[in-house]
Structure 1
């Protein structure tokens, strides 16, 4: 479900597919390859998002105005031009536009410094180009190298994931590089990102520690996380904060139960909970005289009766109720009322008869007598009049 959820609880809404989970679990090189290969084939110009069109309205991310079949051609032309330069050599938007217009004179109208600069900005964002020069793994991609070779080449130039961070006295965490995926997930559960860049900075607070405890972490696990992965001493204030939040966390418990069982005899209730027939409904005791289960009340009653007990169902007031199935019912279909056909008036009948008489008279005037028609068809050709 999206966050925040729709007020009506139903769609439509945008949500990631299962491919998003595979993307997150992939290596940095594989994720980069997927982004770059998709960008090369993208029939749109994402740099126009937010720009205003002829109607002075900004282009939306999924607007049809961004569609362009020439965008993939322009990207490959730009990258091919950069690939022909010596390794490490770069150009700016003006020089790149001139070089592209010289290669494709008929495309010069759309290969101006502005659009070419937008393409360079997109390439910089994806790591395809750095300071106007082409990245070395892109050369393999343009030459048609296999995906594994391109991913391996990019993985060599990317920084290696690290397994440590730096804890500060102000409860900030400085991460001097990309963290290992599992460690990054654990740190994100107990801290929030305060600033991103070459070195990310996280902030730990009472709310973030409570959020980590809500996911099932314990105070002992949080202490071990910081002691094991911090290259600097753990601040004493952080230790006190974790213990204080953990002491107050979970004093009130909220669970889910579809049915309950109460009994004035604690021994009888304990016997019912421990009965083998009740294993399927997963009933557990909350107090000596109360037990709950997530199973429907009918399943709990059936399990107790199968175990040899004689339970009774009750409502909110404690009165015994009958919960036997009454069978399914459907709404009665709405009957259509009978509407008799109206009786035609004498004027209507007279008009109908008059029309029918005219039609019969017209047919009779154009009909040929059968005897005369046969006589005309059987006359020999020589006896017919010639003109």
Structure 2
């Protein structure tokens, strides 16, 4: 597989994405990050609702990214940000290639890159103004650096500093990555790729970059907020009708949920967290066994499609997500079986990574496709391993 072909296909996909955005007049769906970025750019406040005041509802990297472009481009910021995200996505397959190269599996990395380029979800999602689009970049860079450290015979000071800075940036982008990073860092320690002294330097660098967020929260809210505020909110939402297939799990009445959603625009997240907690405790009383059932349901929804899309059999969702994700999961399982036979340690590594990404949504809710997009690209490596070794097997048989 030629590098030139890889680049040409990447460029063609980029052109198609920009054309899609312009031709269909995509405005870019926005979430809380946009409101925070807008208010930061226009009013100098890190707040979702100006009337409510400062927030720690979202981690800062993506709102800061949005605020930068809103400040510079004003009303044109939507389009500019989408194009910038398309350009970011153009480089992601090359990061997958580099990760494969690190382990002397360049063809596997290139196959993973092609799978990324062919993904319907990743083709579309850079049109959405949401943190996953930046998280993919910083987390892939983190995985690349982790891989280089793991295979290298020497952990240089520059790599320690870069690893510390990048770890903080990832943690300030998506909290779901924290358990995964902790596991990988412990792996470096146990594999003797990092010693205690290096761990201390790494930790100091990471804390230096991360701590301004915690300090800001302490000064603003007079309490320790290490990541972000929503905790009970996610658990509360996981028992609403819109988050569940199984009727037994729909324990929050619709009228109660509607009233609470209306309150959110009028009061701060700390009051709302107490309210969410009270409602969960009230309606969960005597039904604690539902937590297990909900966890199993959410794991299935995360790895297939969320509730809101189950009845949607339009071509875009049916072929672009339902059929696609089932095929991807099928070949991932096949690839994992092949990896299991060749390397139990690598099989266990992938299993722990997937469990690390799945567990938070078993506790909370799995209502959005974007939750899986944070790590779906890892499946591409497993499928690429399967395709690579099956290809070698077929060639060997042919000879």
Report the TM-score, using the length of structure 1 for normalisation. 0.21
For CA contacts below 8 A with separation 6 or more, give which structure has more relative contact order: 2
- Greater strand proportion: 1
Q: Which has the larger radius of gyration?
A: 1
Report the TM-score, using the length of structure 2 for normalisation. 0.21
